[in-house]
Amino acid sequence: MASSRMWSLALLCAGLGCSDVAVPSPEDSSGVEPRGALTADGGSEPSDGGAGSVAFSIHTAEYQAFYLVDGKVLGIGSNRLGQLGFGTSVAYNQVPAAPIAVDPALRFQGVWGGGYQSIALDVLGRVWTFGDNRFGQRGDGTTNDLPNSPAPGNNGIPYVIPQDASGQPFNGVIAVRSGLLFNLALKQDGSVWVWGLNGTAVGNSIGIAGDGDTVGRNMTRPFKVPLPTGTRIVDIETNDFIVFALDDQGHAWSWGGGAIAQENLGTGRPTEYAQPRQVAITSRIVQLAPGGDAFAYALDDQGRLWGWGVRGTYLGLGSATGGWNPVATPRLLSFPEFGAHRVVQVAASGHTTHVILDDGTLWGWGDSAMGEVGNGAILDFAAYPTPYRWDWGLFEKLVFRPVQIAPGVTFQSISTTSESFYCYAVATDGRVFSWGRNKTGILGNGVLPTGDLANRPDSWNVATATPVPAHLLTTATPTPSR
């Protein structure tokens, strides 16, 4: 059975009139020119990435990724709707990474991507958006959308949001996130702001406004989420359709996802999805990691993982042969594979989970049809019932329990999000590793896919965690589908 998210993306692509082949730019044709403990911007602690003393972090999305290097944002991957912020929304795959179209003197502290939109946070606390605006993700008070165009006003021109939904200046932001078709921001005062799709046009994100609205609406400017009096949020996360937040007392909160959210909220109160409710965990939480649209984790201050969601098999529960195994309220998970070691960081993608332990080892588990786990596991598409034609079925290459990734290497950080089907990790010696789906060239290994629709689902994918140049890459190799 295909996941609800894959059907959502199919509908989204149909609505956009997606072409089968990306249009290369002249630069692409000529081949011209990452995460430790989580920081407030959701990236990673500065790493030298093997390039000397520079501040460096990696920020993934589904079809695009960003490198933040000494405050400069570099984008790589798909620019189908202008989500790389290059000043044009003409569709092409950009490899190697290139800077977004802003004043070169401007410096950023964070960047994030969702489905077809992206969001960046500068050092002055201002929010910039670029990409899809069909549901108000730009935050400019409109749903004006100009894809596949180099003309003035196109989606690829970075836009700084001047005001919120009440007409007040929108500043003082310390963190940004992006769901499938909506954006989030966290301010210094602990308030949470949301804008974009609060509805069912693609999937179901009704309730993300947190104001009790169960009908839904396009939110075209940042809207302040009503939180209980005295609640101060210090970190925000999102999966495709649900908002997650962490307060200064170590409590987790969630809201959104519509009436179908159910187990994915983790509150035990699924009918109250349109208002922020505490996730049912008594331990003090230090990190949240939602994955895809159907599972989520919380890491507590003792280095233990709690998990919940309708697809509990991705938590390592149930049967190694697959199945949904819903977990309605957070469950303390047991991982004898880790021995006495504590988890110090957790990251969840669309299908997988990765953790770094206190000894620096990296572990992964989940669905690895596209090589997402990183241990070499990938679906044999030649032996598939319809060879080289995949239906995005679940549990077809399941790595059910944790396996060590890149044995012998110690790691300081992982980078992936719920919208991603690939991962990055930075080793303690500064090397950058990547693996998984590489459809748009986002793995930073120099491969430039020359088509958007692969003849084989495993075209360009990398199933084993492999060192890559990432932000240091200067040339690309145009590579057709296998």
Looking at residue 341, its pLDDT comes to 98
Looking at residue 388, its pLDDT comes to 85
CB 274 within 8 A of CB 212: yes
Looking at residue 6, its pLDDT comes to 43
Percent of the chain with pLDDT over 90: 83
**DSSP string of 343-400?**
EEEEEE-SSEEEEEETTS-EEEEEE-TTS-SSBS----GGGSSSTT----BSSSSEEE
Tens of pLDDT, residues 315-328:
999 999 999 999 99
CB 59 within 8 A of CB 66: yes
Q: How many C-beta atoms lie closer than 10 Å to residue 407's C-beta? A: 9
Looking at residue 1, its pLDDT comes to 36
Burial string for 237-270 (b: 16+ CB within 10 Å, else e) reads: bbbbbbbbbbbeeebbbbbbbbebbbbbbbbeeb
Domain 4-479 has CATH 2.130.10.30: yes
Tokens of 342: 């504590």
Q: Which of 97, 89, 125 is nearest to 32 (CA)?
A: 97
Looking at residue 356, its pLDDT comes to 98
Pairing of the two strands 327-332 and 305-309? antiparallel
Give ∠ CA 481-155-440 in degrees, rounded to 5.
15
- Phi, psi (deg, nearest 5) at residue 29: -65, -30
Q: Which of 348, 401, 394 is nearest to 369 (CA)?
A: 394
Looking at residue 481, its pLDDT comes to 87
User: pTM to 2 decimals?
Assistant: 0.90
Alpha carbon of residue 219 to chain centroid: 21
Tokens of 426: 């930075």
Tens of pLDDT, residues 214-236:
999 999 999 999 999 999 999 99
Residue 249, SS3? Answer: coil
**DSSP string of 167-182?**
S-B---EEEEEE-SSE
Q: For residue 155, is pLDDT > 90?
A: yes
Looking at residue 90, its pLDDT comes to 93
Give the mean pLDDT of 182-209: 98
**Residue 59 binned pLDDT confidence (cut-offs 50, 70, 90):** very high
Q: For residue 261, is pLDDT > 50?
A: yes
